[in-house]
Structure 1
């Protein structure tokens, strides 16, 4: 039985392989991860995808035969956290293990909120990755210990969803008028949001606000 009472899928049958889909936009990294996992006798990499959209397509093609999706976060198009949320909704029996270069505490909280059951950084030893895949496949949860502590220490993002949208638009280099037009807001409303964001983050400039939020993993 699952060690996690909230798990929505049964663990792979005893003696059966854990079926894994590897998702990463960097082909060399993706193929290296797939090769490493394939060396494990009880892990079977059944597919690869280059972004979140392709991952959803591959899951549909595989017909629910995936136990674990090993998912990168920062990818063009559909990012890993957004894709994770979609996977958990459409394929509740498939569990998502996030694996990223960027060990940002905000990413951990956002990923867990999206339904991920694990979070590791890419510099983790290969044996740790394989063990994490097995653990989440059996219904457990795995979070890098150092990141877990930092996430608890830093706390959740102080920004609202709308403020995140505004700050992302700021990060793209748009003017107040550009941001207002893209988000269908008044320019005064955008200015108020920007001011509130800077106050919440303790930033002196818009650029500093973007940096603080990015480093924390809140964008």
Structure 2
């Protein structure tokens, strides 16, 4: 009887203890092996090129580059998001980037292994509660430019800084921020930022 081929997995998570624990749990599975680990998002693309994993498991919040941005740089790869931040907007962005799996970090090791196997064979594995929340939440009302300006504002950047980084006029930046506040039904910029972050739209 032929033994199943080993699925090569790359783990990317900035929390060292969590990453090591995940690697140990996956190594207990006979058909899974962790071929590489990354602690920063901007290390992942090079690691993928060097190790050729079958499945890439990504956290969202990582230094250097967030997991969703990493996914956008790796079209055609089997990718799974494993994150504490199970927000509807994140799921929509992940799917748009070609991610085929999305489960919260409090999932069991058995569920993680099952998700890896499923997306390795071309299927999808989405946490049902998150999928339902994403459907109820609907699409983000923000344009790409509004999202970018609000994201930079959330990092503490001033209007002048945002304008310089996005190559826009300060007036355009103010208009984008004002539009975002209005669309989100927020009282001010800070409330708009919190609401957009809660939904995973920025």
Provide the rounded CA distance (Å) in 2 between the counterparts of 1:132 and 1:169: 33
Aligned residues: 201
Q: Per-residue displacement from partner, 1:3-53 (whole Å, max 9, x unpaired)?
A: xxxxxxxxxx96111110111011111111111111111111111111222
1:15-26 paired onto structure 2 within 5 Å: 15-26=4-15
* TM-score, reference length from structure 1: 0.88
Shift of residue 76 of structure 1?
A: 1.1
8 A Cα contact 1:51 1:80, kept in partner? no
2:74 partner SS: helix
The SS at the match of 1:115 is: coil
Q: Counterparts in 2 of 1:1-219, with a 5 A limit?
A: 15-62=4-51, 64=52, 66-88=53-75, 92=76, 94-219=77-202
Provide runs of 4+ in structure 1 moved above 6 Å: none
Whole-angstrom CA distance in 2 between matches of 1:170 and 1:98: 26
Task: Tell which deviates more after alignment, 166-175 or 106-115.
Answer: 166-175
Using the alignment, how far apart are the partners of 1:184 and 1:17 within structure 2?
47
The C-alpha deviation readout for 1:76-118, integer Å capped at 9, x for no partner, is 1111111111112xxx3x3001100111010000011011000
5+ residue gaps in structure 2?
Answer: none
Alignment root-mean-square deviation, CA:
1.3
The CA distance in 1 between the partners of 2:164 and 2:42, in whole Å, is 27
